[in-house]
């Protein structure tokens, strides 16, 4: 994993990032008003934050249950062996599956932690049997079905450096 060195941002950049994380659809004039700048310098700062990689995109949050993906599962995956080739093959295969929302290479008693959304248990059984257990190098899986989502956030805590 490539570790990026945090760069210094000032209070105004911090507040811009906080506000945009709360509402990515905020207009530039509303944003400028909230942070105490005029519109033009505010827009320049937003564009600079985008160029520097602080802002990587803008996304709509949708309700998965209204789209037929009400069931959330986390899956531990253990590979047959831990080699660069197996990691790459597995990672490449996982990226192709839309039901898998996240995939993390982790340390510990298993190799990958997956987050997936499906319609129901029958759909998950199909994903597990037809996809996950057939991915390159998979020897074992352990599934955790979410009964209730207590907190879900994409916001990152932003502190001044």
Q: Give the pLDDT of residue 3.
A: 62
Residues of the chain with CATH 1.10.10.10: 11-52
Chain mean position to CA 81: 26
Q: Give the pLDDT of residue 8.
A: 78
64-145 carries CATH number 2.40.30.10: no
Match domain 11-52 to its CATH number in 1.10.510.10, 3.40.50.2300, 1.10.10.10, 3.40.50.300.
Answer: 1.10.10.10
Q: Distance between terminal CA atoms of the chain?
A: 22
Confidence of residue 6 (pLDDT cuts 50, 70, 90): low
Average pLDDT score over residue span 57-76: 95
Distance CA 40, CA 44 (A): 6
Per residue in 84-138, pLDDT (tens digit) is 999 999 999 999 999 999 999 999 999 999 999 999 999 999 999 999 999 999 9
Distance CA 64, CA 90 (A): 26
Residues of the chain with CATH 3.30.70.920: 64-145
Q: Give the pLDDT of residue 7.
A: 74
pLDDT exceeds cutoff 90 at 42? yes
């Amino acid at each position: 994993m490539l570790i990026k060195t945090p760069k210094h941002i000032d209070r105004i950049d911090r507040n811009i990032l906080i506000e945009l994380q709360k509402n990515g659809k905020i207009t530039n004039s509303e944003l400028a008003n909230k942070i105490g700048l005029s519109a033009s310098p505010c827009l320049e700062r937003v564009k600079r934050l985008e160029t520097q990689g602080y802002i990587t995109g803008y996304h709509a949050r949708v309700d998965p249950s209204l789209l037929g993906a009400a069931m959330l599962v986390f899956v531990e995956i253990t590979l047959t062996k831990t080699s660069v080739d197996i990691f790459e093959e597995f990672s490449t295969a996982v990226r192709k599956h839309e039901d898998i929302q996240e995939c993390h290479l982790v340390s510990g008693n298993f190799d990958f932690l997956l987050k997936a959304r499906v319609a129901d248990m029958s759909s998950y059984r199909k994903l597990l049997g037809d996809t996950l257990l057939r991915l390159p190098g998979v020897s074992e899986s352990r599934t955790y079905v979410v009964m209730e989502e207590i907190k879900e956030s994409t916001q990152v805590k932003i502190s001044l450096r």
